[in-house]
Amino acid sequence: MDLNAQVKKAGFLQRLKEFPSKLKEGVIKRIKNVQKFGKDDPRRIIHSLKVGLSLTLVSMLYYVRPLYNSFGVSGMWAILTVVVVSEFTVGGTLSKGLNRGFATLIAGALGVGAVHLARFCGDKGEPIVLGIFVFSLGAAATFSRFFPRIKQRYDYGALIFILTFSMVAVSGYRTDEILVMAYQRLSTILIGGTICILVSIFVFPVWAGEDLHKMVANNIIKLANSLEGFEGEYFPSSDKTSKETNSCVQQYKSILTSKSTEDTLANLARWEPGHGRFRLRHPWTKYLKIAGLVRQCAFHLEILNGYVLSDVKIPQDFISKIQEPCSIMSREAGEALKAIAKSIKTMKRDNVSVNKHIEKSQNAIQTLRIALKTSSPETDKDLLEIIPGVTMASILIEIVNYVEKISEAVEEFSGLAHFKETPDPKVSPELGQHQLLHRGSVKPVLEGDNEEENNSSPHVVINVHDEQLPTTNEKKVAGVEKTRVDVV
Amino acid sequence: MDLNAQVKKAGFLQRLKEFPSKLKEGVIKRIKNVQKFGKDDPRRIIHSLKVGLSLTLVSMLYYVRPLYNSFGVSGMWAILTVVVVSEFTVGGTLSKGLNRGFATLIAGALGVGAVHLARFCGDKGEPIVLGIFVFSLGAAATFSRFFPRIKQRYDYGALIFILTFSMVAVSGYRTDEILVMAYQRLSTILIGGTICILVSIFVFPVWAGEDLHKMVANNIIKLANSLEGFEGEYFPSSDKTSKETNSCVQQYKSILTSKSTEDTLANLARWEPGHGRFRLRHPWTKYLKIAGLVRQCAFHLEILNGYVLSDVKIPQDFISKIQEPCSIMSREAGEALKAIAKSIKTMKRDNVSVNKHIEKSQNAIQTLRIALKTSSPETDKDLLEIIPGVTMASILIEIVNYVEKISEAVEEFSGLAHFKETPDPKVSPELGQHQLLHRGSVKPVLEGDNEEENNSSPHVVINVHDEQLPTTNEKKVAGVEKTRVDVV
């Protein structure tokens, strides 16, 4: 018993001794985690400091005597605005700031009107009339927030409308200085909103549009990596190690559910002014079209991945027959995607190399068809065994076709987004003009929904590529056949 | 010229005459649209009226003299709280209300502390110390909002923390009644929050959990409809018309991108107290697992749909060979999904009918394999032509396998969620017990991550189904083989 107590005591003392070092370890681990999290995207740290800066700036309304004399306690509306409006992206801040500003203006005016109207109804009638106003406008504005169009762009505005109208109308019952109150509220909100927007735009800005642009390009690269990794995974005879490629193959997974992020970014990007390489009316919605095609491709990869993971054994002689064309297909489609992603990232057209890879992958489809023809199964059992292989090849063909669709969508987009033309050294403009006359039907890439931008661009340069046309399989390569004439 | 002017005048008068009727038409059309939108989900109208009600209730702080005397202009914090906290679902309102309440409490206390600390630093030092506090705590709290765990559940709390701390700290510089101010702010926020939460829970509540429950069940039904529609679409020889089924086939589309909605609902559901058929610790996260499998199935349908839409012609004799088993597969898998959805909706187990359909679809896979064996192509050309058909069948097989996985996941879930047992009239408990002794290995369905709930359930009833065991193909039907013993 005594011994037991001694042992317990020793254990307790031991733990007590260890406690500081364990605490230290835990704290250090936490700090390292936070540091790593900040390093992953340093813009997070910068954003946090920006919010601190805005808060400090707006506090001046209290600290500086002359400012405090003119605004008084209304200064807290400015603080509130800064905290609520400070969003990570410029688009988010602008959207919230403008929504808040305009909604306060409209609701404030309506609120003052409602108070004046209610005063006609006598002492007893006033709260009833005000109550009816607040109830009906509050309910109506809440209902409007369900409409998708309003929800998408003016949700915050509707919220602030209800807020401001209720506040002005209700407090109008108790104060006669309603106009002063409304004015102070509006002016402090404008000050807070302006500080936020200025800090957001001029101190290390984070543009939602640029994020969307990079995200779409990166998703295409992920797709390319998955496709290229797939080859090593499905045909493990190649020299890459399996583990290495498996991480590549899984990269497409995040694309499957990235739609909501893309929609949000495109929505915020529309609020942003022109910046860097992006003009004011940059075709943001076109990114969603490209992203949709990329996601379709990812769906196919998800199914394909199921075949990689499945334990079904396919006869080796069949695999060896389709391996060559399948490898080429996935590799070249991957290369084409990488060229497309590079073209988006640099905002320079690069049809030549994109089409070269697409053409190669399309040729591989033909080779695959021939290989399949010659590998007609000899026995009944064979057909059953090659079904997974045939399915895999079939889905791979679909993916190559989708890569071509992506290339076409990016081609269309690059015109709208004013991508730079990579000059083709082989062609002189005169020669191009000459060929043009002989080609017959000429159709500029730009048309339809970008008429304004088309008119506003000062120079229309007609540039004709002199690619080596594919000798075989011409009809398949739609991307090469079309868009021979580009308008910059 | 004169005539021209006359014609113009007449046209103008005509348009002027038509204007009122056109305006009326336009307004009526708009109103009808809004009415239809409200009718689509009447809960939207109810929610709007609930917000109006909460606003009217909270206005009493101003209208009723004794209340106004005790709270004064602080009453506007209550209005602000009501507007901001009123969310569509109970979970949303609770999450925002609790976040707001606790964040205000903590930040208010810290703010009062900061002001007292700053007063030690003299007149000149006070604003500097306060500024440093506001900057650093504001930046730190903003940074914390980037962490996924905090973002998911406490994002709003962090926002309100920054807001309240800044306000208390900054206005503490100008007023000596800081404690009174903090108390008034806290109490009015509590009043506003309480009104919101009470109205949200007791006036036609909308439970996020119930929405999630229905959404998952409805998604399974959509999948079933698409599968059943697919049969009529791909084999148009059946008597259904093509147009009718096409709308069914497309139903799965919304599932492809429903992940973010499901995540949000599951997140909000965790804030909700027990309600109706859902206990407090209902396994909300398990819905996400089922929804993930349903989405996997939808991915496969998306690929399958590509084959329906493609113009590839498959030889009629090959189609006629695989039509029968493929039809049975899609029909029975659809029926199984419908039975699963019904079991979720009613929260009653129905393994018998689910497994019956799964078994039939699995048998059809075997028939299909045999059909494929006997239809080995005669010429080289044939193999190429049947590739799309083979791929279609292969994907259909994958879908059937996923339906089985869904059934297993729902089976596991039904134990955790305390689904009711549908009594099987054929079996008396004694007989079941008897059979049980002869079967050898018995493994309850419930195990692993639901230990707490398992222990807490007072009665453990062992119920043994006496299904007609499949005579052929037993090993394939995993759903039938397992889960013979259910613990309720």
Q: Taking Cα atoms as reference points, which of A8, A378, A47 lies closest to residue A196?
A: A47
**pLDDT for B378 beyond 70:** no
Cα–Cα dist A251/A229, whole Å: 9
Query: Given an 8 Å threshold on Cβ–Cβ distance, is A80 in contact with B163?
Result: yes
Model pLDDT, residue A255 = 92
Cα-based angle B306, B307, B312 (whole degrees, multiple of 5): 125
Model pLDDT, residue B464 = 35
**Helices B122-144 + B90-119 axis angle, to 10:** 150
Say whether A100 sits in a helix, a strand or coil. Answer: helix
Q: Which residues are registered as beta bridge partners of A275?
A: A278
CB of A112 closer than 8 Å to CB of A225: no
Cα–Cα dist B271/A476, whole Å: 56
Residue of B41, B57, B62, B321 to mutate for A, most A C-beta atoms under 10 A: B62
Model pLDDT, residue B5 = 75
Higher pLDDT, B235 or A126: A126
Residue of A51, A93, A123 to mutate for B, most B C-beta atoms under 10 A: A51
Q: What is the pLDDT of residues A167-208, one digit of tens each?
A: 888 888 887 778 887 888 889 999 999 999 999 999 999 999
A104 vs chain B: nearest CA distance in angstroms? 13
Q: Taking Cα atoms as reference points, which of B103, B113, B79, B76 lies closest to residue B160?
A: B103
- φ and ψ at A462, to 5 degrees? -95, 120
What dihedral do alpha carbons B140, B145, B148, B150 form, nearest 10°?
90
Cα–Cα dist B206/A175, whole Å: 38
Query: Given an 8 Å threshold on Cβ–Cβ distance, is B383 in contact with A372?
Result: yes
Cα–Cα dist A360/A479, whole Å: 12
Q: State the DSSP H helix or E strand holding residue A487, giving kind and residue range, or none if neither.
A: strand A485-487
**β-pair type (B485-487, A462-464):** unpaired
Place of tokens 């397992």: B482
Q: Which two tokens stand for residue A303?
A: 């199914």
Cα–Cα dist B399/B393, whole Å: 10
CB of B361 closer than 8 Å to CB of B403: yes
Cα–Cα dist B60/B284, whole Å: 38
Quote the percentage of chain B above a pLDDT of 90.
39
User: What's the average model confidence in pLDDT over A248-275?
Assistant: 90
Confidence of residue A438 (pLDDT cuts 50, 70, 90): very low
Cα–Cα dist B412/B406, whole Å: 10
Residue of B143, B144, B294 to mutate for A, most A C-beta atoms under 10 A: B143
Q: Which two tokens stand for residue A138?
A: 């509050």
Contacts of A469 (CB under 8 A, 6+ apart): A480
Confidence of residue B131 (pLDDT cuts 50, 70, 90): very high
Residue of A41, A70, A391 to mutate for B, most B C-beta atoms under 10 A: A391
Contact residues, chain A, for B189 at CB < 8 Å: none
Contact residues, chain B, for A63 at CB < 8 Å: 127, 131, 170, 173
Q: What is the pLDDT of residues A91-101, one digit of tens each?
A: 999 999 999 99
Cα-based angle B200, B202, B205 (whole degrees, multiple of 5): 55
Q: Which two tokens stand for residue A296?
A: 């379709």
Give one word for B234, left, alpha or beta, with left for phi > 0 and alpha for psi -120 to 50.
alpha
Model pLDDT, residue B445 = 37
Say whether B393 sits in a helix, a strand or coil. Answer: helix
- CA gyration radius, chain B: 32
Q: Which of B38, B143, B166 sits opposite A55 (nearest CB)?
A: B166
Model pLDDT, residue B105 = 93
Contact residues, chain B, for A84 at CB < 8 Å: 159, 163
Residue of B55, B265, B293 to mutate for A, most A C-beta atoms under 10 A: B55
**pLDDT for A443 beyond 80:** no
Say whether B311 sits in a helix, a strand or coil. Answer: coil
Query: Given an 8 Å threshold on Cβ–Cβ distance, is B299 in contact with A256?
Result: yes
Cα–Cα dist B174/B172, whole Å: 5
Q: Which two tokens stand for residue B368?
A: 């299909």
Cα–Cα dist B392/B390, whole Å: 5
A140 vs chain B: nearest CA distance in angstroms? 7
C-alpha dist (Å) from residue A335 to A223, A247, A406 = 10, 18, 13
A129 vs chain B: nearest CA distance in angstroms? 11
Model pLDDT, residue B475 = 35
Quote the percentage of chain B above a pLDDT of 70.
81
Model pLDDT, residue B273 = 92
User: What's the average model confidence in pLDDT over B45-61?
Assistant: 93
User: What's the average model confidence in pLDDT over A160-166?
Assistant: 93
**pLDDT for B70 beyond 50:** yes
The DSSP letter of residue A326 is H
Residue A437: how many other CB atoms lie within 10 Å: 8
Confidence of residue B462 (pLDDT cuts 50, 70, 90): very low
Q: What is the pLDDT of residues A7-59, one digit of tens each?
A: 777 778 888 888 888 889 989 998 888 888 888 888 999 999 999 999 999 99
Model pLDDT, residue A47 = 94
As to burial, measured by CB atoms within 10 angstroms (0-12 exposed, 13-18 middle, 19+ buried), residue B174 is: middle
Contact residues, chain A, for B299 at CB < 8 Å: 256, 299, 302-303
Give one word for B204, left, alpha or beta, with left for phi > 0 and alpha for psi -120 to 50.
left
Contact residues, chain A, for B256 at CB < 8 Å: 299
Q: Which of A62, A68, A303 sits opposite B299 (nearest CB)?
A: A303
Contacts of A313 (CB under 8 A, 6+ apart): A385
Q: Return the HEC string of A163-190.
A: HHHHHHHHHCCCCCCHHHHHHHHHHHHH
- The sign of the dihedral angle between the CA atoms of B173, B174, B180, B185 is negative
Query: Given an 8 Å threshold on Cβ–Cβ distance, is A48 in contact with B395?
Result: no
Q: Which residues are registered as beta bridge partners of A278?
A: A275
Contact residues, chain A, for B206 at CB < 8 Å: none
Q: What number of C-beta contacts closer than 8 Å exist between A and B?
A: 210
User: What's the average model confidence in pLDDT over B392-403?
Assistant: 90
Q: Which of B171, B299, B391 sits opposite A73 (nearest CB)?
A: B171
Query: Given an 8 Å threshold on Cβ–Cβ distance, is B159 in contact with A381?
Result: no
Model pLDDT, residue A454 = 38
Cα–Cα dist A62/B166, whole Å: 11
Provide the mean pLDDT of chain B. 80
Contact residues, chain B, for A79 at CB < 8 Å: 163, 166-167, 170
Cα–Cα dist B75/B187, whole Å: 9
A440 vs chain B: nearest CA distance in angstroms? 30
Q: Taking Cα atoms as reference points, which of B96, B313, B284 lies closest to residue B192?
A: B96
A56 vs chain B: nearest CA distance in angstroms? 6
Q: Return the HEC string of A357-395.
A: HHHHHHHHHHHHHHHHHHCCCCCHHHHHHHHHHHHHHHH
Query: Given an 8 Å threshold on Cβ–Cβ distance, is A159 in contact with B83?
Result: yes
Model pLDDT, residue B65 = 85
Q: Which of B49, B138, B369 sits opposite A139 (nearest CB)?
A: B49
Model pLDDT, residue A33 = 86
**pLDDT for A453 beyond 90:** no
Contact residues, chain B, for A374 at CB < 8 Å: 380
**B98-132 burial code (b ≥16 CB/10 A, e <16):** bbbbebbbebbebbbebbeebbeeeeeebbebbbe
Model pLDDT, residue B294 = 95
Query: Given an 8 Å threshold on Cβ–Cβ distance, is A143 in contact with B38?
Result: yes
Model pLDDT, residue B67 = 84
**β-pair type (A462-464, B462-464):** unpaired
As to burial, measured by CB atoms within 10 angstroms (0-12 exposed, 13-18 middle, 19+ buried), residue A153 is: middle
Model pLDDT, residue B73 = 79
Cα–Cα dist B467/B357, whole Å: 13
The DSSP letter of residue A471 is S
Higher pLDDT, B399 or B379: B399
B380 vs chain A: nearest CA distance in angstroms? 5
Model pLDDT, residue A469 = 35
Residue of A71, A162, A296 to mutate for B, most B C-beta atoms under 10 A: A162
- A459-463: long-range contacts at Cβ-Cβ below 8 A with a sequence spacing of 24 or more? A459/A488, A460/A487, A460/A488, A461/A421, A461/A487, A461/A488, A462/A432, A462/A433, A462/A436, A462/A486, A462/A487, A463/A421, A463/A424, A463/A427, A463/A429, A463/A432, A463/A488
Instruction: Report the chain B residue with the minimal C-alpha distance to residue A302.
Output: B299
Q: What is the pLDDT of residues A106-150, one digit of tens each?
A: 999 999 999 999 988 888 888 899 999 999 999 999 999 999 889
User: What's the average model confidence in pLDDT over B87-111?
Assistant: 94
Q: Which of B84, B296, B390 sits opposite A390 (nearest CB)?
A: B390
Provide the mean pLDDT of chain A. 80
Cα-based angle B64, B69, B71 (whole degrees, multiple of 5): 95
**pLDDT for B392 beyond 70:** yes
Helices of type H across B65-207? 65-71, 75-85, 90-119, 122-144, 148-171, 178-202
Q: What is the pLDDT of residues A367-389, one digit of tens each?
A: 888 887 776 555 555 677 778 88
Confidence of residue A423 (pLDDT cuts 50, 70, 90): low
Q: What is the pLDDT of residues A272-294, one digit of tens each?
A: 998 888 888 899 999 999 999 99
The DSSP letter of residue B475 is G
C-alpha dist (Å) from residue B459 to A129, B456, B484, B488 = 59, 9, 18, 7
Lowest mean pLDDT among A226-235, A395-404, B440-449: B440-449
Cα-based angle B181, B184, B187 (whole degrees, multiple of 5): 145
Quote the percentage of chain A above a pLDDT of 70.
81
Model pLDDT, residue B407 = 93
Model pLDDT, residue B3 = 67
Contacts of A26 (CB under 8 A, 6+ apart): none
Residue B476: how many other CB atoms lie within 10 Å: 19
Confidence of residue B209 (pLDDT cuts 50, 70, 90): very high
CA A284 to chain centre: 10
**pLDDT for A152 beyond 80:** yes
Query: Given an 8 Å threshold on Cβ–Cβ distance, is A48 in contact with B86?
Result: no
